[in-house]
Structure 1
Amino acid sequence: MTAVTQTGRPHTTVLLAEAVEALVTQPDGVYVDGTFGRGGHSRALLAALSPQGRVIAFDRDPEAIAAAATIADPRFSICHASFAQMADELAARGVGQVDGVLLDLGVSSPQIDTPERGFSFRFDAPLDMRMDTTRGETAADFLARADERLLAQVIRDYGEERFALPIAKAIVARRQSGDALRTTGELSALVARAVKTREPGQDPATRTFQALRICVNAELEALEQGLNAALALLAPGARLVVISFHSLEDRIVKTFIARESRDEFDRRAPMAPPRPLRLKALARIKPDYREVAANPRARSAVMRVAERTEVPA
């Protein structure tokens, strides 16, 4: 399913058919689309459900919430909130269990391709990077207050950038000169000077921009919270489908599914029965060569599928 971004570039939903096929086991069920974006997955889910089915979507981005208003289907509703808050939001709507949760992680094409959002070094624009532009600290605000140690830690841990310390030193030196970083172009140029070698085909600012985006939006913390919330909401036999786009996200998802897919013993009570497994890992799926050729942004995608096991009486 393809939409058009503000810059005229097409936005294509990654692993659309595979995600819907993996998720929907009960056409009459209630399903959560944790990252509405521009609605590709939500629309496909509605098409796969019966008249009794229901899709409840979540998104932090006000522009995504506005885009959701174009769906005139009584089976659909959306919450302006992070999927990390899905348990509370669904409880407020009287929903205690769902038949599937879909999380399509990372930044969407419309966010990348809208210059003023500040996600991309392809445009010179204010350093914002917030998923929710109505609240929170911008990337520029973070760069203006974080000390060298914190900057290096964020860039190293979230960007997996080996030149994190030289970049952090350069940011602090510029700030101390009275010329704080305010735009994506300024940051990109600073990183290019601080990074000594470049990976073939990759802009030297790629990892730093990823790190700041993850930090500003607390993406990894939200993912941990969202996975736990989804597990608590899934009915027996319901599916969890997560699409990630970089190794940090996928590692969290993989570890979570692995942990919940095995019996766990309480070391403090060695004679007690183990806590039974709560998930069963079903699949790991990557886009095929045709999808990657048609949509290069799909090349790093990994989709993991797990099923909620029966809850012991």
Structure 2
Amino acid sequence: MRDVTLSVVALVGEKVAPFELGVVCQVFGLDRSEEGLPVHDFAVCGLRPGPVATTAGFAIQVDHALDRLETADLITIPAWPDAERPVPAPVAEALRAAVARGARVLSICTGAFPLAAAGLLDGRRAATHWQFADRLAERYPRVRVDREVLYVEDGPILTSAGAAAGIDACLHVVRREYGAATANALARRMVVPAHRSGGQAQFIELPVPAAGDGYGLSGLIDWMQAHLDRPLTVETLAARAAMSPRTFARRFKAATGTTPLRWLLDRRLQHAEELLERTDLPVEAVAVRAGFGSADALRHHFTARRGIGPATHRRTFRRPAQ
């Protein structure tokens, strides 16, 4: 068994949404050391130990009270079904104390509400499910609610949208902590995408395209993924899809929630991370294989999006040869 790494706690209120709690348990609560994945010191805590009702009609047993937050490296808050009710003062106080001592916090869906009630989102960008974004903004006007993203990280706090976006946010934490290779391996184990481009807009009242309306871009997207090293432009991709550039860009965004060039940048960065972690290729060669063309271009985009340069990423996450 591998050594335990992070101490992770899931905080629940008087009621909990079982799917969102299950997301956190899947990512941080299972021992997958035999597969070479990290092991976490994981616990579920609440106001007090005892049974906690779920929104699905059954109860779970919570063994830890709020004092469990005092030693947590990462506090996760699944969807908070009692978002309309005042957050208990001890919960708000425990969250503030945890962040003050350096803990990180990740919320899923309405889990942003107790963070806002504790004042931890004041002046920060934050996400929640699109159905509750207006309510969060109205109740807590000092929070900069971003209605379009799947998740957003601002300082030590990461907030995410609906249930599936919680998976994205958890994998983002894994990627930050252990590198892309570990996040990708865990995503494969869970049979979910390691990274989704786009935002919540793709899930909000979009019309269903008629049959034959040209949205069948899956083949082209697979081809793009396999040819990231090529100089792909909207014009060349549109020609391959037999569309005008404007029509292609519109339909690509409708299908993926993002632009073709943003999608390519995300995938190229992810491929560069994998090459840095798994190979000894020089940065210049990584840049070419990932489609950036030059080491300078790779450094610019990598630093802008990841906060560190490619060489630092390699030193941090490079896996020794087996």
State TM-score, norm by structure 1: 0.30
- TM-score, reference length from structure 2: 0.29
More helix by share: 2
